[in-house]
A and B are shown apart, each in its own frame.
Chain A
Amino acid sequence: NAGVTQTPKFQVLKTGQSMTLQCAQDMNHNSMYWYRQDPGMGLRLIYYSASEGTTDKGEVPNGYNVSRLNKREFSLRLESAAPSQTSVYFCASSARRMNTEAFFGQGTRLTVV
């Protein structure tokens, strides 16, 4: 029972490079999320997808794009990485109900130099 799987776990990019973070869930959840975690700031929502075929911006969407490839997969793309995007990125999924919790992946630690 894998839950939410993120790849890669670690990545170092040079400024200006692009990359895609992959996320897949096997719990048949409708909603998926991308968060970034920075010291002292908690988790901030980058983008979310309420259901297959829809995506919406969260608190900090600038510099990112997302694709909800199908119900299982939700990818996050950095087109031109900047040092300010150095962070730990978490993917999460949940059933589309208010009283249900989100399940998180193990995170991707990204460093942009």
Chain B
Amino acid sequence: AQSVTQLGSHVSVSEGALVLLRCNYSSSVPPYLFWYVQYPNQGLQLLLKYTSAATLVKGINGFEAEFKKSETSFHLTKPSAHMSDAAEYFCAVSGDDYKLSFGAGTTVTVRA
């Protein structure tokens, strides 16, 4: 079975500052990892996904994530936060059962 743990339920950053959201995974098979974003009162939208082709994955809206097998991590970063990045972010993993398992989520607040 696979699972993910997101460290920090809430992150507050200043506009223009680095955004760093942490995700660690546990999987008995090579994992497929995803980051989703949820804006208020909306469904989840894919930011990016890791599929073993490259360890550094670039996604939409300037986000990227780095897969580190030695650390079992898949942290999400954005060099410069924008007010529109305020949302909830979810890390997710799937394995050979095709089911997605989600972390508890991290809410990002951006200060002007």
Contact = CB atoms under 8 A, between A and B. Distances in A.
Interface string A36-61: 00001111110010100000001000
A31 B94 CA distance: 13
A41 B105 CA distance: 7
**For the side of the interface on A, what is the size category?**
20 to 34
B98 A45 contact: no
Given A104-B43, A106-B43, 9 more contacts: A4-B43, A35-B102, A42-B102, A42-B105, A50-B98, A98-B32, A98-B96, A98-B98, A105-B43
16 contacts: A31-B98, A33-B99, A42-B90, A42-B102, A42-B103, A48-B99, A58-B99, A94-B100, A98-B32, A98-B96, A98-B98, A101-B46, A101-B49, A104-B44, A104-B45, A107-B43
A42 B104 contact: yes
Contact of A43 (B41, B42, B46, B90): B90
Contacts of B105: 40, 42
B49 A90 contact: no
Interface residues of B, number: 26
A40 B9 contact: yes
A54 B99 CA distance: 14
Contacts of A45: 99-101
Contacts of B12: none
Contacts of A42: 6, 90, 102-105
